[in-house]
Amino acid sequence: MVPQAVELSGDRATRIGPLSTTPATFRKVLHPMCMAEKLKKSDEQWRQQLSPEQYQITRQAGTEPAFTGKYWKTKTPGTYVCACCGHPLFDSETKFDSGTGWPSFYQPTRPENVSEHTDSSHGMVRTEARCAHCDAHLGHVFDDGPAPTGLRYCMNSASLELKEKK
């Protein structure tokens, strides 16, 4: 099955044709075989599972200070998974030094693993990245990344766990 590019609007997705690898359409990809039911937990369950920092960042859309997270300069090979649910998000091979002080990747392990939402907070409009499985806030996506996607997924270390390659 060929992945399809879709136009996202609110909770609706409209198929617009075969996948293109341009930055504008790369992040609008859904694969129908990978649309899993979202993990739902109560606020109290998240508070019990996560550290105070992880809770504030992942469940309340916080941001850790630049150059302070445990993964901003890590070069260890492996897969970065969601700190809340363990869903695979990014491969270390797509990580790059953006100079921003946050771990940055040019693409997720699979486009459907990271959902994107408009974030109008703090007097600006940005694209928020969330775990598609549990809705954890991960960080933001910008159109100033390297090839092949032209995207920079600027993530909070507290939103991630690195599963090292053995």
Examine residue 148 and say whether the peptide bond preceding it is cis (omega within 30 degrees of 0).
Answer: yes
Q: How far apart are CA 163 and CA 121, in angstroms?
A: 32
Active site residue 34: no
Catalytic residue among 82, 84, 131, 154: 154
As annotated, the active-site residues are 154
